[in-house]
Structure 1
Amino acid sequence: MEQLTLTTPALLFSAISLIMLAYTNRFLAYAAVIRNLHDIYLEKKDDSLLRQIKNLKLRLNLTRWMQIFGISSLLFCVLTMFLIYVGLQITAVYIFGFALILLIISLGLLIKEIQISAQALQHHIADIEEHLERK
């Protein structure tokens, strides 16, 4: 088994930090869109807005879980570094492996969320194309 050093889990710090920044930006963008759609819905009571809000709710939940798994991965990387520091090498290796699995789950959820976002945009494009064909 390879020796795990402090630098290995430390390398993930910058990557996870950038990922968390991207996740937070997505979360804030969804929150702004949901607030805007909420105000529009209160005025118009349009069912198509409910579909959009339902879609955004799903994407918001996925983003929340992406953040939870990403933060947990970072936490376990820190725990790995502590375990290396106190000399518990074998435990550190397993904890670091678990941190990597959490990061993989977070990135997998990101892929799912991107697919849902792309589908939602395809529906909007189809609506625009249908409207243009009627003209």
Structure 2
Amino acid sequence: MDLFEKINWRHRLAKEIEQAFIKSTVTIFVFDQDNIIAFGRVVGDGRYYAMLNVVVDPEYQGKGVGKYLVNTLNGQLENYHFVNLSAAPGGDNFHENLGMEKANHCFYPASGPKTVPTTLPAR
């Protein structure tokens, strides 16, 4: 859970994270010794996919780990029509360097009973 602390996933419950990985179409974890330093996952139906939670420990960013994750996840998908990647702010250059194009036609619920808070209370 150290990586989750580093990336501010403190508000997520371990059981919810575990279930998300289990229910994903493809999940990849990258280790350094016994420590998870990166992970990524894809959910999909065989033709349409969403690449989610491509996360690299800040200490390992800029070393090709994120590129490896995105390329490996994408390489696991066959005969797809569309892959959507949801990214955190600030990752535009990274994704554009991988040949991805930014789309400006995404909609999502602004709030509701199932919305996860995107900001954390001060510690």
Q: What TM-score range do you get, normalising by the shorter chain?
A: under 0.3
TM-score after normalising by structure 2: 0.25
Higher percent of residues as helix? 1
Whose strand proportion is higher, 1 or 2? Answer: 2
Structure showing greater relative contact order (alpha-carbon pairs closer than 8 Å, 6 or more residues apart): 1
